[in-house]
Amino acid sequence: MSIDTAAAFDVTDYLRKQMMPHFLCPGCGHGMALRALLWAIHDLEIDKDALAVVSGIGCAGRLSAYIDANTFHVTHGRPIAYATGLALARPDLHVVVITGDGDCLAIGGNHLIHACRRNLKLTCLMLNNEVYGMTGGQVSPTTSQSRLTTTTPLGNAEPHFDACALATAAGAGFVGREVTRHVPKLKELIKAGLRHEGFAFIEILSDCTEIFGRKNEMGSSPEMMMRQKSELRPSAYRDTVDTPFRANDLPTGILARNDRPEYGAAYRSAAAAARNGAR
């Protein structure tokens, strides 16, 4: 794509304007994550009719409603299951899952593990804000230890899930992580995931400013955003998203790549062989 075309990106071209104003709280990182996704789709010149976005329940799950494409708002914890059927039935589509940390790793954890193992071509964006934001601020599988939530008033005593380590161990074809503050970097990571011929899992570290941030006295929205730079990223940036960064023992960028056969293609090949053998 030419530089001029890339510069012409206008996020409103990809939004359902009748759905505005959006429901996101001021400072919520999910809006930045949505912009990065739509920017990546624009750069790759993916037609809206060839895009299918599946989301579950929660703040992250609401994002699909704003995208002017084929969208599916499904039951809690099941977006990957629905997306699996869709990707198998319509391999011509770019299937994207938008899910939250609770939706993906709690009730939906089993679906995530087997999607990684299966390696069907779809892209899963897990927006991790460490809390069940929409339903009252309960503890989630990614809530850091000692953090306060409505269900951990004395501080979370459980260790949190490293979602990217879990996805890598389960065999995901592509695993990456990025923060919402760095939208261009996040856009490039999503583009790499969309290009991958297999299951791509991307964890997006987002901020819940109104519930999680306030309860844990993490400051204003700008202060929470700046913390992503000071605490989660090194001071010297690299030019390529292919090399993981590391700051405070938290890697970002592309963390794992496993170029093995894609499930849908293998399934269709086996079905064709069975049909030919029956003749």
- Per-residue pLDDT, averaged over 214-236, amounts to 73
Residue 239 banded pLDDT, cuts 50, 70, 90:
very low
Question: Does the pLDDT of residue 4 top 70, yes or no?
Answer: no
**Domain ranges for the chain:** 26-278
Write out the two tokens for 146. 């000692």
Residue-wise pLDDT tens digits, 241-277? 554 444 455 788 999 998 899 999 999 999 999 988 7
- Residue 228 has a pLDDT of 77
Length of the chain as a residue count: 279
- Per-residue pLDDT, averaged over 163-180, amounts to 95
Tell me: domain 26-278, CATH 3.40.50.970, correct? Answer: yes
- Residue 186 has a pLDDT of 96
